[in-house]
Structures are given as C-alpha cells and as structure tokens.
Amino acid sequence: MRNRQNGKIPAAELKEKSKERLRVFALYLILAMVIVLLIWMNGETAAINIGFDNENVYTLRDGWTMERSQEKSLVTLPMDSTASKKETVSYTKTLEAQDSYCNMIMFHSSHQRIKIYLDGELLYTFGYGQSMPVHFSVGSAWQFTRLPADWEGKELRIETKGVYDSYSGKQELVYMGTKTSLVFMVAKQKMVSLLVDLFLFIMGVLLIMSSFFFREARTVSRIRYLGIFAIVTCTWILLKSGVGQIFSGNILMSMNVLYLLFGLMPVLTISFLLTFDSFSKSTYMKGLYWFSIVCYFVMQFLQLANVMDYTQTVSMNHINFLLIVIGMAGICIRKKIRGEKIEDISVFVACFAFAGLGAVDIYRFYFEKTMQSHVGFTQAGLICFICSLGYSVVKQSSEEQTRMIENEALKKIAYLDILTNLPNRTAFEKQMEQYRTEHSEKRPVVMIVDLNGLKEINDTYGHKAGDAAIIRIAQLLDRHFGQPLHTYRIGGDEFCVLGEGETDEIFDQRIRGFLDEVEKADREYAFSFSAAYGYVKSGEEGIDKAFIHADRKMYNCKMQMKQLQAAEKRRETPGGTYGG
C-alpha cells in the first residue's frame, strides 16, 4: 500500500514486486528453452515413420478426358464445366501403377448424382434410389469406392449429374490410396476445423451452464442465447465442412440438420442482440426478429410443399444477415448524428467483425468456382465473436450480479436489526402499512413484548449484559413465534409479533412455551431476566387500534409484575410491612 503522506511505495512491497517479476522471467525463460529444444530436436531427429497415416495418397490431377454432349476435351482437375442440371458430364482416365499399394479412389461431390465405372463395369453409385419424403438435394459428401485387384491399366470413368445448374459439370480432385490413408487425409485436412468446432461447442455448453448462476432474466437470456448460438453454429460448420461424415454416413439426414440449423442462425443472432438496450429499443430490430421467424417458417413450407428446397432458399438467410448488419449500422449512424454515446460498443465491434469475415465466405459461395465448403472465414469470425462476447457478457453479467447482491444486502441491512438479526422498526412499519391498505378476511395477531429492567441491567452489569439480555429475548421470541408469525424489534427493549392464521389455542401454547423458557433463562443470569407482554387479535377497528390495545395490555402486565416484585422485596426485607 502506498504511503499516503509521502506517496512512496514501501520497501517491502517493492521487494515483493521484484520477486514476482523474477518468477515471471524464469517462467518465460523455461518456455523459450522448451520451444528452442523442440525446434532443434525436430531438425536433428531422423526415425522411421510408424504413424497411422504413413501410407501414401496419390492425387489424380492430370490426364482426364471430359465428355459432355458428345464433346470431348483433355482437362486437369479440379474442373468447372458449365452444364445444366441433370446433364451428364463424364471424366475418364486410364489408371497407372503407383509406387505403393492402392485399392480405393475418393473425391468430394456437391449436389451431384455419381456413377463410377472401371472398364465399363459399374463399381459405385450415389444419389440414385434415395428415399426422401419431399424433393431434396442428394447431398454433398466424400465419394469413395474400392477398386478390384487388377485395376492397373484400366479406364476409370466418373459420371456426374448435377441437381442444380450451379453444381453441374464440376469435378474435384480425385485421390487414390488405401481406405486408412484416405480417411487420415480427410481427418488431417479438417483437423483444425474439428478442433475449433470442439472448442466452440465447449464454449457454448459452458455459457449455458454459467447462465444458471445468474438471476436477472435478461442476463440469463443473453448468456443462454450466446451459448445456443455457439453450439448451433459450430454444429453447422462441422456438417458444412464435410468432416461430419467421419461420424455419420447418413448424408440426407446430415443435410437436413445442416439447413435447419442454418435457418436458426439469424433468429438466434437477433434474439441475442435484443437482450441489449441498444437493440431492444430499436423498432427495426424487433420487427426484423419477427421477419426472420416468418422466413424460417416460409423455408419449411416451401420445402414441404415441393416448391423450393433448402438449398434454393439459402439466399433468404443471407438477406436476413444483411438486414441485421444494416440495422446495426443504422443504430450507430443515428446515435452518431444525435451525438449520443454508443452503448454496448463491444457487441457492435464483435458483430461487425463477425459479419465482415462471414461476408467473405458468402462472396465465395456465390462467385468462387469450387464445391468445397465456404466456412473458413466464418469459423474465424465465430471464434472472435464467441470468445470476445463470451468474456464480455459473462464479465458484465457478473458485475451486474455483484451489484444486485450488494443492493439486496443493503436492502436487507435496511430492514434488519444488527444486534438481534430480527426485522427492525422500518420492516415493522412497512408490514403495518400493508395491513392498513390490504383488506384481508384474516385478522392479524398483534403482541407487544417488553424486556423488563434493561436500564438497571445496563447500569449495574454494563451494556454488554444488557445486549446479551436483548439478544436472548429476541432468540426466544423468534424460536416460539416463527412462521407464519414474524417478530420485529421496534425499540431498544421492545418487540412486536405480527401474523395471521393462528388459532387462540395454538397462540396460547406459543406464549406458555415462551414464558417457560424466559423463566429458565432467569436462573442463568445474575440479573433479573423477565418480559411483559400483551396481545390482541385485530378486528374491524384496524391494525393501529389493535397495536394500541396490545401496548396497553403489555403496560398493565409490566405494572403488575413490578407490583409483585416490590411486594416480594418487602416480604424479604426485615422490618418491612410483611417482614417477620
């Protein structure tokens, strides 16, 4: 801690900071040494590759003949040939011997029906004979088939027929190898994407779990929407990238799930944004939310009615995302023109960054001539979006939660008596006001209790003894007049019990139990420990008159107890009125 008089840091604190810097430096030195050793050992180490992916994969790129509409031409893969849907386009190549054992070929197709022949003999088909309840694309998948043992020198023919014009005639690279080598090739190509998706999925689950630790409704919704958005988006990316085929070969089901999730993304995005004041006050954003809901149902209707399938309605989602970005830009511009402060700036920055990277993939989807997935930039944007907003939202929500707890603590203190932990005079007046304004068929019981002789206890035995007596009487009252009744400390030595629903018999039992314990406690103290009480059940006269009657009864009880105590003292004093 700084010396407030001279502004200098104490020597002990400087020494501790110096030690901390030395520990950090040592840690960085070790990390640097590990990195240097790994680089050096990797360059100097030579060993036989016994990994699971040590088999070769060969790329069949050159020497292909493309045939369409009785036209032939030599091509190099990948190939983008302009063709109409359902037009057959074939690619033919004579297979040559390779340096190592091969028995399979594999390539990726998008929305195409496939037939593979070897010397005219049909080896494999995809997209023919599929059973679908409605019109739908045959799907995008990795196609692979086993070759016979005598494949060398034979003619391989791949026949494609696109479901849509934009995918007809296209042919991606063809790979040759063993099944193990080809699977490992796909896994290695998609490893980064798979790890990122796993990370995003875990982030989404953690966000949803963390939402249960908050109580404010908007905070809970904000964190849950972000978590659900992360899970939905990473699952969509997993299916879109093709790596999901490693886990499930049901291509049609995967495609359905892919489009159903993609349709939800604009809805979840707007739902998340509407948990912030900057967006919840915007009529445009609230209207856009319902527009996105309608679009989602329209997509399902068009699919089920066989009018347009999911692939053909992808543009509706892209339009929704564009409208979201326009709405965000409009909010920023309007606030800038009005000279207002842009609230939730971190949300705007994260959303615009995500939108910018996602726009790159949308551009590639429409204008690049490739059948591979267009999710790389979206994935990078999603990482930034989820990580930055996840941290920001949880931090902001934690601060809001802390403030809420502090406010509740202050509110509790405002209505709590510190010495006895009973509700205080303020809480009592609040309850009395409710009884004044609320007309209930049940009439509350009002009981006033006063600790006798507090001044004498304080004067003779000290204030600690007086506090102990107050605390003890409060504990006994709370023990015997608990729920549904409530005990309040309304003065230094005065308490009040309020409550409804008690029969006279039960209430009398409570009083007898309380008085018995007061009598037992009196034997424990050096001073006299007793309490006067009076109670009534309020009627038509109202709670205030009931309080006055109970207070008068308590006073009469106190006077009687004082008279009895005085009489006992006279009997015990020699020469007194009743003395011997």
The pLDDT of residue 290: 95
Mean of pLDDT values over 381-392: 77
The pLDDT of residue 580: 26
Computed over every residue of the chain, the mean pLDDT equals 84
pLDDT tens track for 143-184: 999 999 999 999 999 999 988 887 888 889 999 999 989 988
- Reading the block at residue 30, the tokens are 């070790």
Positive or negative CA dihedral for 565, 567, 569, 572?
negative
pLDDT tens track for 236-285: 888 887 777 777 777 878 888 888 888 899 999 999 899 888 888 889 99
Rounded Cα–Cα distance for residues 177 and 53 (Å): 11
List, in sequence order, every residue forming a beta bridge with 112; answer none if it has no partner.
Answer: 162
The pLDDT of residue 442: 63
List, in sequence order, every residue forming a beta bridge with 115; answer none if it has no partner.
Answer: 125, 159
Rounded Cα–Cα distance for residues 236 and 244 (Å): 10
In this predicted structure, the answer to whether residue 302 has a pLDDT above a threshold of 80 is: yes
Among the ranges given (2-16, 108-122, 521-535), the one the predictor scored with the smallest mean pLDDT = 2-16
Helix axes 191-210, 217-241, angle to 10 degrees: 160
**What single-letter amino acid sits at 100?**
S
Q: Give percent of the chain with pLDDT exceeding 90.
A: 25
**170 touches 79 (CB < 8 A):** yes
- Reading the block at residue 220, the tokens are 């809970």
**455 touches 520 (CB < 8 A):** no
Reading across the β-sheet that carries 155-162, which strands appear in turn?
Answer: 71-75, 64-68, 88-94, 155-162, 112-118, 121-126
The pLDDT of residue 572: 63
The pLDDT of residue 2: 43
3-state SS class at 533: strand
Beta strands in 338-465 (DSSP E): 445-451
Q: Give percent of the chain with pLDDT exceeding 70.
A: 92
**What single-letter amino acid sits at 273?**
L
Beta strands in 31-70 (DSSP E): 58-60, 64-68
The pLDDT of residue 286: 93
List, in sequence order, every residue forming a beta bridge with 171; answer none if it has no partner.
Answer: 79
Rounded Cα–Cα distance for residues 58 and 250 (Å): 27
Cβ atoms within 10 A of the Cβ of 219, count? 21
Mean of pLDDT values over 309-338: 88
pLDDT tens track for 32-60: 999 999 888 888 877 776 666 778 899 99
Residue whose C-alpha is closest to residue 381's, from 363, 362, 356:
356
Mean of pLDDT values over 62-91: 87
List, in sequence order, every residue forming a beta bridge with 72; answer none if it has no partner.
Answer: 67
The pLDDT of residue 8: 60
Indicate the pLDDT class of residue 505, thresholds 50, 70 and 90.
confident
**155 touches 128 (CB < 8 A):** no
Indicate the pLDDT class of residue 326, thresholds 50, 70 and 90.
very high
What's the pTM value of the predicted model, to 2 decimals?
0.63
- Strand 104-110 relative to strand 140-146: parallel, antiparallel, unpaired? antiparallel
3-state SS class at 251: helix
Q: What are phi and psi of 384, to 5 degrees?
A: -60, -45
Positive or negative CA dihedral for 57, 61, 63, 64?
positive
Measuring CA to CA, how many Å separate 339 from each of 283, 325, 336, 370? 20, 21, 5, 46
Indicate the pLDDT class of residue 561, thresholds 50, 70 and 90.
confident
User: What's the angle, vertex CA 141, arms to CA 135 and CA 142, rounded to 5?
Assistant: 155
The pLDDT of residue 228: 92
What's the maximum distance between 2 C-alpha atoms anywhere in the chain? 142
The pLDDT of residue 20: 84
In this predicted structure, the answer to whether residue 110 has a pLDDT above a threshold of 80 is: yes
Better-scored residue on pLDDT, 309 or 67: 67
- Reading the block at residue 501, the tokens are 């629903």
In this predicted structure, the answer to whether residue 1 has a pLDDT above a threshold of 50 is: no
Residues contacting residue 138 through CB under 8 Å, at least 6 positions apart: 111, 112, 113, 126, 127, 130, 163, 251, 252
Indicate the pLDDT class of residue 196, thresholds 50, 70 and 90.
confident
Residue whose C-alpha is closest to residue 529's, from 452, 474, 435, 463:
452
* Rg over CA atoms, the chain: 41
In this predicted structure, the answer to whether residue 579 has a pLDDT above a threshold of 60 is: no
The pLDDT of residue 577: 34
Beta strands in 338-492 (DSSP E): 445-451, 486-489
